[in-house]
Amino acid sequence: MVSSQIKQLASEIFRTDPQIVHLGLIDLEGHVALDQSSSYSEPFEPDTDRILFYYQVGLRRSRREHFNDAYGKTDYIHIQREKMQQLVLYLPLITVYLTIDKNVSPDRIAKIAQSIKNINKDILNNAVKSLFYFQEKLASQ
């Protein structure tokens, strides 16, 4: 179940650029908060491989944070692949994973990253709070 606040954050991220193909929101422990394609209005339940992939994205964040004191914080990660591009951003308490059309320029990727980092802080904070509330609710059941 995805909260309306998480859905609102996803909607804001998709609005930053029409070339965003897919969005994954991941908590600090690597759990999937949302998995959604731009072509669908609602998030869907990720398959086992995608769950494992998102978990590994979460692990990489914790490994990179280990080097923050020595090298500084990671701004974003941009990976160019044959068929697509990947963009990973570390927002406070949530990781954003995006796939983007392969023809988008690196400059535009940087602008997408900056636009997402500038999303309204209230929207981001409400999404994170809803995520923690949902996890606490699940743990108490």
Q: Is 72 helix (H, G, I), strand (E, B) or coil?
A: coil
Q: Is the pLDDT of residue 21 over 90?
A: yes
Question: What are 72-114's pLDDT values in tens digits?
Answer: 999 899 999 999 999 999 999 999 999 999 999 999 999 999 9
101: domain CATH number is 3.30.450.30
The domain in which residue 53 lies consists of: 4-140
Are the beta carbons of 21 and 101 closer than 8 angstroms? yes
Q: Is the pLDDT of residue 140 over 60?
A: no
Non-local (6+) Cβ contacts of 29 within 8 A are 58
Average pLDDT over residues 59-67: 92
Q: Provide the percentage of residues in the chain whose pLDDT is more than 90.
A: 80
Question: What are 42-53's pLDDT values in tens digits?
Answer: 888 999 999 999
> In 16-80, which ranges are continuous DSSP H helix?
48-65, 68-71
Q: Provide the percentage of residues in the chain whose pLDDT is more than 70.
A: 94
Distance of alpha carbon 128 from alpha carbon 125, whole angstroms: 5
Question: Tell me, what amino acid is at 39?
Answer: S
Could you please report the per-residue DSSP string of 86-135? Answer: EEEEEETTEEEEEEE-TTS-HHHHHHHHHHHHTS-HHHHHHHHHHHHHHH
* Total number of domains in the chain: 1
Q: Is the pLDDT of residue 18 over 80?
A: yes
Confidence of residue 139 (pLDDT cuts 50, 70, 90): low
